[in-house]
Amino acid sequence: MPAKKKQPVTVVTGGAGFLGSHLTDRLLAEGHRVIAIDNLITGHLTNIEHLAGNENYRFIKQDVTQYLYVPDDIDYVFHFASPASPIDYLELPIPTLKVGALGTHNALGLAKAKKATFLLASTSECYGDPLVHPQKEDYWGNVNPIGPRGVYDEAKRFAEAITMAYHRYHGIDTKIVRIFNTYGPRMRLRDGRVVPAFIGQALSESPLTIFGDGSQTRSFCYVSDLIDGIYRLSQSDFHEPVNIGNPREMTIKQFAEEIIRITGTKSSLEYKPLPVDDPKVRQPDITRAREVLHWEPKVQFEEGIVKTIDYFRDWLARANER
């Protein structure tokens, strides 16, 4: 009789966040037992309330910049803890730096102690305001280390450096995903990112706020596509950074016009000055993801954005009932 296959045990830091909660759902669907760790500074229990009573799920409220102790045997550590939107890391600059440095160090230490695979959620912000377009993984970036956004950009760049150091020096099985703009259900309505900002303004028929002239570009990836790429990366034997995002590029003004069209709102456009160091272009080169992971995004923009609008419409309806 064949031996029973061992159930993987996985730690997800930032497990109550937008991406961490979706990742948890995918891991549970793949048969993992998940231990989520989150201090709820930007994550929220509503993102994981559907997991209450799940015998394969445990939640620990803790700041990952403090020593991490988990008694269980662990197979994977996914480090997703961090403020991840401009409004968050501008309001929480020190916690952002600490979770990128101390939090990553602690999460790597846990992976080392448990001989677990480690996956770092890094970011396209490592490229800064890029001088190369689209952005490939071998581009070193154009980052202002002392600007207001530097607390996030440099925290993630340090996190990548220490992850590779643990891989090279300690032989830890590490992966690095550079995440480009992602959207979908469970985003916070007022987290400062353009997708929830425009949808929230459209649903309330307020003006959609465009910073600058709206010519700056972004590439939007639906969350299920992103999580699929991340899961594939975790199962690979590849250790260099991998871009995961949707290369379909559009200007912020085009995106605003699409939101107005799809929601049917009477909202107008309102222009404000561009924030300091705001990237002018953002588009992933996903050649590496295609070749190494056999991954590319599948969800079309309109399909994903309709699902996201429906989520926020329901969220606002529930909020008005309270």
Q: What is the pLDDT of residue 2?
A: 54
For 111, counting Cβ atoms within 10 Å of its Cβ (0-12 exposed, 13-18 middle, 19+ buried), the class is buried
Q: What is the pLDDT of residue 319?
A: 77
Q: What is the pLDDT of residue 281?
A: 87
- 10 Å Cβ neighbour count for 102? 15
Q: What is the pLDDT of residue 232?
A: 98
**Could you give the domains of the chain?**
9-317 (3.40.50.720)
Across the chain, mean pLDDT equals 95
Q: What is the pLDDT of residue 277?
A: 77
Amino acid letter, 22 = H
Please pick, among 152, 166, 222, 231, the residue that the annotation labels catalytic. Answer: 152
Instruction: Say what the pTM is.
Output: 0.95
Tell me: cis bond preceding 83? Omega within 30 of 0 counts: no
Q: Report the alpha-carbon distance of residue 166 to residue 174 in Å, rounded.
A: 8
Q: What is the pLDDT of residue 4?
A: 62
Digitized pLDDT (tens) for each residue of the chain, 322 residues in all: 555 679 999 999 999 999 999 999 999 999 999 999 999 999 999 999 999 999 999 999 999 999 999 999 999 999 999 999 888 988 999 999 999 999 999 999 999 999 999 999 999 999 999 999 999 999 999 999 999 999 999 999 999 999 999 999 999 999 999 999 999 999 998 888 899 999 999 999 999 999 999 999 999 999 999 999 999 999 999 999 999 999 999 999 999 999 999 999 999 999 999 888 778 889 999 999 999 999 999 999 999 999 999 999 998 888 776 6
**Total residues found in the chain within this entry:** 322
Q: What is the pLDDT of residue 249?
A: 94
Q: Report the alpha-carbon distance of residue 119 to residue 78 in Å, rounded.
A: 5
Is residue 89 annotated as a catalytic residue, yes or no? Answer: no
State both tokens at 268.
Answer: 């107008």
For 272, counting Cβ atoms within 10 Å of its Cβ (0-12 exposed, 13-18 middle, 19+ buried), the class is exposed
